[in-house]
A and B are shown apart, each in its own frame.
Chain A
């Protein structure tokens, strides 16, 4: 049943889509039906896959870099109390400025290649990862800290053996959010200026009124993003089997 359900949902959505096409009688260059998009997928899948792989690589690299930067920042803020007052405003600013507004500058600095898109994805996930992990580090069960102090644990060993493991469930929530938003960064980066990737393909298709190709690219992006999310979710569950089961998408 659990495997059948997504199939049924997909078929129902495709049916609804086809119904809208029939009722509105929209021309194919405005709203192509699912059959046309499927045909486009079948005809041009090597090209779609190639651009998709590029976008996926940008997303994954952005995730890795953003996670490294975010966890490091959170550890620094948690460890050095004075750093909190200096880094917190930077963090808030990094979240307050829309990353979209930075995209043209990043493309100008880092070029049309992958680097600017990776930087976009990194920036967009930096705040959720940092905030979630820092929050986890700050909310260690006080009883554990008391116990560790009576046992003669140093500050660094308490951080290593208690505070960091205790903060991992919070970090995984941050990583789930990050996985969901990272594709936004990569695709926006591709829209602003690029020579490849699904965002690039969509812009090109749009300019040539190949709306069916645009939808096909969108479909590939959706499949990759959802697949990545579930892969990350699965890996996080495997990594933290002791975590309560109520922290996943299944509930």
Chain B
């Protein structure tokens, strides 16, 4: 039994980061919320008790860009899948998002021509294109090198402002840079601890001493989480 009477609350408009040892069920929880996994009883609803299905955008660790489509068409994938028009205003918005993730010049390139960081930025643009109030992210930046990750974190924090985000990560520093709230999941069935709430608005400066204090606390919690039954 992975979960039993587990409650996770995501405050609206804030970024919640979820950490925990491998295999504790972070990804499974994310998939349950996204409606991609079955076999669990439970409900995902907003504060008015309305189900959130159809209001969620999902970003995975792999960029999941379609290799046969240009970057622009990848960003327009959701519109094409729903049979919406992909010209005019929609295309203009896609191009504007690409400009905001600094990919304006690569709009017509194929994903294979891009670097790992560029690909993940394209995936970020595709996620934002969906205009969903809730964004679920599963270790979206873990495949990138440190500097690229640092840059894309700042970009993501700015672009995701105002949306309700659940970000699964195994990088404590990433969680503290990006999260309004940071929670550690542990044990089986899984439990959640009280949220750490670092001061200031994301993206936070990693040189901030307060952040380093929190990082020490977070590492301690993660070590305990690994020992948890």
Question: Hey, which chain A residues are within 8 Å of B56, CB to CB?
Answer: 150
In whole angstroms, what is the CA distance A243 to B78 when docked? Answer: 23
Q: Determine the residue in chain B with the shortest Cβ distance to A146.
A: B36
Query: Across the interface, do A157 and B81 meet the contact criterion of CB distance under 8 Å?
Result: yes
Q: Determine the residue in chain B with the shortest Cβ distance to A141.
A: B64
In whole angstroms, what is the CA distance A148 to B80 when docked? Answer: 10
Question: Hey, which chain A residues are within 8 Å of B58, CB to CB?
Answer: 146-147, 150
In whole angstroms, what is the CA distance A209 to B57 when docked? Answer: 75
A242 partner, pick from B31, B34, B68, B130, beta carbons under 8 A: B68
Query: Across the interface, do A161 and B80 meet the contact criterion of CB distance under 8 Å?
Result: yes
B6 within 8 Å of A by Cβ?
no
A interface secondary structure, majority = helix
In whole angstroms, what is the CA distance A151 to B67 when docked? Answer: 18
In whole angstroms, what is the CA distance A51 to B60 when docked? Answer: 58
Query: Across the interface, do A143 and B62 meet the contact criterion of CB distance under 8 Å?
Result: yes
Q: Determine the residue in chain B with the shortest Cβ distance to A152.
A: B82
B30 CB to nearest A CB, Å? 11
Question: Hey, which chain B residues are within 8 Å of A158, CB to CB?
Answer: 81
Q: Determine the residue in chain B with the shortest Cβ distance to A241.
A: B110
Q: A42-73: contact bitstring with B at CB < 8 Å (1 yes, 0 no)?
A: 00000000000000000000000000000000
In whole angstroms, what is the CA distance A168 to B69 when docked? Answer: 13
B77 within 8 Å of A by Cβ?
yes
Q: Determine the residue in chain A with the shortest Cβ distance to B57.
A: A150
B195 within 8 Å of A by Cβ?
no
B34 CB to nearest A CB, Å? 6
Query: Across the interface, do A143 and B60 meet the contact criterion of CB distance under 8 Å?
Result: yes
A152 partner, pick from B31, B34, B81, beta carbons under 8 A: B81
In whole angstroms, what is the CA distance A161 to B34 when docked? Answer: 21
Query: Across the interface, do B81 and A148 meet the contact criterion of CB distance under 8 Å?
Result: yes
Query: Across the interface, do A161 and B77 meet the contact criterion of CB distance under 8 Å?
Result: yes
Question: Hey, which chain A residues are within 8 Å of B35, CB to CB?
Answer: 149-150
Q: B210-229: contact bitstring with A at CB < 8 Å (1 yes, 0 no)?
A: 00000000000000000000
In whole angstroms, what is the CA distance A141 to B35 when docked? Answer: 18
In whole angstroms, what is the CA distance A154 to B78 when docked? Answer: 11
Q: With A149-B36, A158-B81 as given contacts, are A242 and B67 in contact (CB-CB < 8 Å)?
A: yes
A153 within 8 Å of B by Cβ?
yes
B114 within 8 Å of A by Cβ?
no
In whole angstroms, what is the CA distance A122 to B56 when docked? Answer: 47
B85 within 8 Å of A by Cβ?
no
Query: Across the interface, do A143 and B64 meet the contact criterion of CB distance under 8 Å?
Result: yes
In whole angstroms, what is the CA distance A87 to B130 when docked? Answer: 39
Interface residues of A in 150-173 (CB under 8 A from B): 150-154, 157-158, 161-162, 165-166, 168
Query: Across the interface, do B60 and A147 meet the contact criterion of CB distance under 8 Å?
Result: yes
In whole angstroms, what is the CA distance A150 to B78 when docked? Answer: 9
B92 within 8 Å of A by Cβ?
no
Question: Hey, which chain A residues are within 8 Å of B57, CB to CB?
Answer: 150-151
B83 partner, pick from A148, A149, A157, beta carbons under 8 A: A157
Q: Determine the residue in chain B with the shortest Cβ distance to A168.
A: B68
Which B residues have a C-beta under 8 Å from some C-beta of A? 31, 34-36, 54, 56-58, 60, 62, 64, 66-68, 77-78, 80-83, 110, 112, 130
Closest 6 CB pairs of A and B: A153-B81, A151-B78, A150-B58, A242-B68, A242-B67, A143-B64
Give 4 A-B pairs besides A146-B36, A147-B60, A158-B81 with Cβ atoms closer than 8 angstroms. A146-B31, A150-B56, A151-B57, A165-B66
25 A/B residue pairs, CB under 8 Å, sorted by A: A143-B60, A143-B64, A144-B64, A144-B66, A146-B34, A146-B36, A146-B60, A147-B60, A148-B81, A150-B57, A150-B58, A151-B57, A151-B77, A151-B130, A152-B54, A153-B78, A153-B81, A157-B82, A157-B83, A161-B77, A161-B81, A240-B68, A242-B110, A242-B112, A243-B67
